Amino acid sequence: MTDCPGPILIDLPRARASLSYARLLPALRAAFVAGASVPLRHSHALEQPGAATATLLLMPAWQGRSLLGVKIVSVFPDNGALGLNALASSYLLCDGATGRHPAAASALAGDFLARRDAQALLIVGAGHIASMLAPAWAAVRDIRRVQVWNLFPEQAATLAAGLRGQGFEAEATEDLQAAVGRADIVSCATLATAPLVRGAWLRPGTHLDLIGGFRPNMREADDEAVRRARVFIDTEAALAEAGDLTQPIAAGVLRREQIAGSLFSLCRGEAPGRQNKEEITLFKAVGSALEDLAAAALVWQDVRQGRDGSTP
């Protein structure tokens, strides 16, 4: 980054121009193959009198002397009641900033784990991250039908309408159990502290994607879902931070040695992904600073070369 002329602020629309899933997924795969130095992130609880505890996350990563970045994330669970996103983030690379794309890592893992003929997607949640999931999954699977469930049905309806505007056959649903039973892929992006998805509802061949919870007290799926599935993680941090794993491990439902692989081992071909059409797979992500480093590098590459980020 020695040719950086000075501070450059890259806004969200400009960053998005460089981060189509067609470009981002190969960049992420290459980054997980190459690896990087990714220390355990710093997590700070921010007590809010009369409101849910907020969280500040600091996530650094670097690749030798070539790339160095840090993501700053704030999570305020009560923001939904104010019409605001619960999560906000910025990324510092040299002197640039970009956004967060956890949905891309979810789809990257899903390319190894979801059935090749998967067409029906269920999105659990209706926030900012949830809105990215259908386009991300469509980059790796032929998604024909999308259902959206949320604790607040009107928000699910709003997201479904937005997805229809993007060309998806999407509808909101209030029956989560039935929706899980119809889905090939169940992708959860919530801040739930009690399980939403029950393992008993999962039909054979389902891929369960959990990307919302990032603290030990957060759960998006119950112990039975973990027990029935081959479990994969994005990074080792998931085993220390994610309630969807720490709680089943503490209860004896899951042993650490049962983890079938990480995003690193999947991308490097060191761990097999889906092995047959009947097995249930589960991917738990807490987010890796490597993902953001790869995305920021892609944006910076386009800015430095004077490109608009569109695919030639």
pLDDT digits (tens, 9 = 90+) for 197-234: 999 999 999 999 999 998 999 999 999 999 999 999 99
Give the tens place of pLDDT for each residue, 79-102.
Answer: 888 888 888 887 777 544 444 456
Give the tens place of pLDDT for each residue, 142-177.
Answer: 999 999 999 999 999 999 999 999 999 999 999 999
Give the tens place of pLDDT for each residue, 179-198.
Answer: 999 999 999 999 999 999 99
pLDDT of 307 reads 67
What is the CATH number that goes with domain 12-101+290-305?
Answer: 3.30.1780.10
Q: Pick the closest to residue 286 from 248, 253, 240 (CA basis).
A: 240
The 3-state DSSP class for residue 135 equals helix
Neighbours of 165 (CB within 10 A): 9
Residue 232 half-sphere exposure toward CB, CA atoms < 13 A: 29
Q: Pick the closest to residue 260 from 271, 251, 250, 248 (CA basis).
A: 271
Residue with tokens 């709003």: 158
Q: Would you state the structure tokens that stand for residue 218, as one six-digit string?
A: 């957060």
- Homologous superfamily assigned to 103-286: NAD(P)-binding Rossmann-like Domain (3.40.50.720)
The 3-state DSSP class for residue 284 equals strand
pLDDT of 243 reads 97
Q: Would you state the structure tokens that stand for residue 74, as one six-digit string?
A: 């704030």
Q: What pTM was computed for the model?
A: 0.75
Q: Pick the closest to residue 142 from 188, 103, 187, 185 (CA basis).
A: 185
CA–CA distance, 78 with 84 (Å, rounded to integer): 9
CA–CA distance, 36 with 276 (Å, rounded to integer): 32
Q: What would you report as the CA-atom Rg of the chain, rounded to the nearest whole angstrom?
A: 19
Give the tens place of pLDDT for each residue, 18-63.
Answer: 778 888 888 888 888 887 788 878 888 888 888 888 888 888 887 7
Q: Where are the alpha helices (DSSP H) in 251-305?
A: 263-267, 289-305
Neighbours of 312 (CB within 10 A): 3
Domain ranges of the chain: 12-101+290-305, 103-286
β-pairing, 229-233 vs 280-284, is: parallel
Instruction: Average the pLDDT over 72-77 and give the result.
Output: 87
